[in-house]
Amino acid sequence: MTLTIEGPAGPLEALLDEPESARAAVVFAHPLPTHGGTMHTKGVFQGAKGLVRAGCAVLRFNFRGVGRSAGQFDEGPGEQDDFRAALSFMSSRYPQLPLWAAGFSFGSWVAMETGAADRRVSVLIGIGAPIAKYGFALTAESDKPKFFVHASLDEICPFKDLRVFYAKAKDPKELAVIDGANHLFEGRAMEVGEALEDLLSDFNG
C-alpha cells in the first residue's frame, strides 16, 4: 500500500506491507540517501518481506529529500525526526501492537538510536550497522531486545567492528551473519529477509 505520511519537513513517501494477522508494527529506515539509499533498496525490500512473513506490519518510507519526500538531507538529525514521525504514524494505526524500529546501514543508526530513546519502541533491529561511522551509545546501553544482521565481508561496516560492539552491548541480543556477503548483500538480499524471519521465529516480545 502506497502512503503519504506527515513529516516535520513535509510529506514523506511511504509503503506499508501488512500480514493477515500482525504481531508487531515496524518502521524500517533505508541506507544513506547520498549513496543512493531509498526505501526500494534491495536489502530493505527483502528485509521488509521477511518481517511480514514473521507477522509484522512494516512501514518503509523515504527520508526527506528522497523520492517524493519533501525536504533535503540533514545528515542525521532531520532523518531521526522523520523516523519519529513514522513511529507516530504506526503507533496511531496499530495502537494495540508492539512498536519496533528497524533499519539498514545509515538507517540502522537512525532506527536503533531513535528507537532506544523512544519509550514506545520495544525492539531494535539493525542490518549492516555502521558501528565505526556513527555513535550507537544509546543502543549499546538499551535493555530492549536487539537483533542484528551483518555480512561477513562487509567492506563499509566491517564485521569485526560489529563483533566488538555486539560483545559489549547489553542483553538481550541476537546476531545473524550472512557469510560471504558484502555490505549491500548483492546477490544475497533474499537472505536478509530469511535471517530476520529466523531470528524472530522464536521471539515472543
pLDDT tens digits for range 158-204: 999 999 999 999 999 999 999 999 999 999 999 999 999 999 988 98
d(CA 78, CA 200): 30
Contact between residue 14 and residue 5 where contact means Cβ atoms under 8 Å apart: yes
- The 3-state DSSP class for residue 26 equals strand
d(CA 183, CA 186): 8
- The 3-state DSSP class for residue 32 equals coil
| Structure confidence by residue, pLDDT tens digits, 16-52 | 999 999 999 999 999 999 999 999 999 999 999 999 9
Q: What is the mean pLDDT of the chain?
A: 97
Contact between residue 178 and residue 152 where contact means Cβ atoms under 8 Å apart: yes
d(CA 15, CA 3): 6
d(CA 48, CA 116): 20
pLDDT at residue 12 greater than cutoff 90? yes
In 3D, which of 191, 123, 125 has the Cα closest to residue 152? Answer: 191
Contact between residue 195 and residue 176 where contact means Cβ atoms under 8 Å apart: yes
Contact between residue 151 and residue 4 where contact means Cβ atoms under 8 Å apart: no
